[in-house]
Amino acid sequence: MLHIDMDYFFAQIEEIRNPEYKNKIIAVCIFSGRTEDSGVISTVNYEGRNVGIKSGMPIVNAKKLAKSGIFLPADHKYYESISQTIDGLIRSNCTKVEKSSIDEWYALAEDEVETGKRIKLEILNSTNLTCTVGVAHSRLGAKMASDKAKPNGFLILGKEKERNLIDNSPVEKIIGIGPKTKDELNELGVKTVSDLRGLNQFILIEKFGKKTGAWLYNLGIGIYDSEIEERIEKGEFSRIGSLKENTREKGKILEKIVELEREAKEELKYSKKFYKTLTLIFITEDIKMHTKSRSFSKPRGEKETNLDEIKKLMSEFLDNERKEVRRVGVKFSGLVEMDGQTTLF
């Protein structure tokens, strides 16, 4: 299996688009609009990483680390179009392709080493962007290989190296193990994947749930999932945004929700899909996420208004929660194809 991962994607795109920034620190930012520099770093180039800037870091803190750095707003539409170009190149070279995010792909091909090299070159020729390719037997191994080789790298792992690399990795380097699972595993004395071996599978399932528990058990004994899922369609569309200030005022919150709903509907319109469920998202002052949703017996389209439901769901939330609201969002899910007919079911 191949794993193709674009190097510091958004920031690299900005480097290519603005050659005058060559060799400077470039950080692509998500500005929240609360204050001048509120928001976080999305992606930063290696010059920026060298001085300690990381993705997820508040923009204000990053600016302290790089007085002369270039801090640009994310231009998602443009990054998406480049992602599509790359997607086309990969698909024309591989037998099976899974696009796992805007800048990452898993793929199968006849001769994977040769194909990987060719893809790297074709991407460079047509976009001027570098990427890193990992080749291994499993999905996890391919991903670990590209992680290890980046940036602008190429790494092939045979079965034995693949197993060793995974076995000796700290658990938090494994895709699927985040901060919570890491902490819980560390408490059990598990630091690396190899420490998982020998743990009782029923204890793992009891502690981490059926799915994760069984997956961790298999990981420990060297069984890695390898399926490629060629899904194309998205299952939901959502928009989230920050309020100017934390508040509980219905008018202010509603105004933002309506604005976000309009944006999410644009996506919906573009996809020509209908939805069965509307969800409002609330992030309170303590950064906890809450949701309120309503499903409809008949799928709704881009034309229908949800104002009544939005007001009702919002009131329901505020009546049961006394914290202030920091951010809000709207989500359309349960997407279905409708082609004009409303009597599909």
Please give the residues from 87 up to 106 whose contact with DNA meets the rule CB under 7 A.
100-104
Burial of 9 (0-12, 13-18, 19+ CB in 10 A): buried
CB of residue 20 vs DNA: minimum separation in angstroms?
Answer: 27
- Exactly one of 176, 202, 245, 249 binds DNA (CB under 7 A); that residue is 176
User: 104, 184, 267, 304: which is the annotated catalytic residue?
Assistant: 104
* 108 or 214: CB nearest DNA: 214
Q: Which stretch binds DNA (CB under 7 A): 20-28, 46-54, 126-134, 228-236?
A: 228-236
* 58 or 222: CB nearest DNA: 58
- Exactly one of 24, 46, 54, 58 binds DNA (CB under 7 A); that residue is 58
Q: Does 273 participate in binding DNA (rule CB under 7 A)?
A: no
Does residue 303 contact residue 311 with C-beta atoms inside 8 Å?
no
Residue with tokens 């790298």: 153
What is 162-206 written as a DSSP string?
HHHHHHTSBGGGSTT--HHHHHHHHHTT--BGGGGTT--HHHHHH
CA distance 307 to 254: 9
CB of residue 121 vs DNA: minimum separation in angstroms?
Answer: 23
> Could you tell me how many residues of this chain bind DNA (CB under 7 A)?
59
* 52 or 158: CB nearest DNA: 52
CB of residue 9 vs DNA: minimum separation in angstroms?
Answer: 8
One-letter amino acid at 49 equals R
Per-residue burial over 256-280, b if 16 or more Cβ lie within 10 Å, else e, is: bbeebbeebbebbeebebbbbbbbb
CA distance 211 to 42: 30
3-class DSSP assignment, residue 68: coil
Q: Does 201 participate in binding DNA (rule CB under 7 A)?
A: no
Q: Does 175 participate in binding DNA (rule CB under 7 A)?
A: yes
Q: Which stretch binds DNA (CB under 7 A): 17-25, 26-34, 116-124, 189-197?
A: 26-34
- Exactly one of 67, 210, 303, 322 binds DNA (CB under 7 A); that residue is 210
One-letter amino acid at 66 equals A
H helix intervals, the chain: 9-17, 46-50, 59-65, 76-93, 112-127, 139-149, 159-167, 179-187, 201-208, 210-220, 250-271, 307-319
CA distance 133 to 4: 5
CA distance 113 to 151: 18
Q: Which stretch binds DNA (CB under 7 A): 46-54, 153-161, 249-257, 272-280?
A: 272-280
Q: Does 315 participate in binding DNA (rule CB under 7 A)?
A: no
Record the tokens describing residue 101, joined without a space.
């995010």
* 33 or 88: CB nearest DNA: 33
CB of residue 232 vs DNA: minimum separation in angstroms?
Answer: 9
Q: Does 290 participate in binding DNA (rule CB under 7 A)?
A: yes
Record the tokens describing residue 187, joined without a space.
């408490």
Q: Does 77 participate in binding DNA (rule CB under 7 A)?
A: no
CA distance 132 to 219: 24
- Exactly one of 222, 241, 246, 318 binds DNA (CB under 7 A); that residue is 241
Is 304 noted as a catalytic residue in this protein? no
Contacting positions for DNA (CB under 7 A):
30, 32-34, 38-40, 42, 56, 58, 60, 100-104, 174-182, 209-212, 229, 231, 234-242, 267, 276-277, 279, 287-295, 316, 326-327, 329, 331, 334
The set of catalytic residues is 104
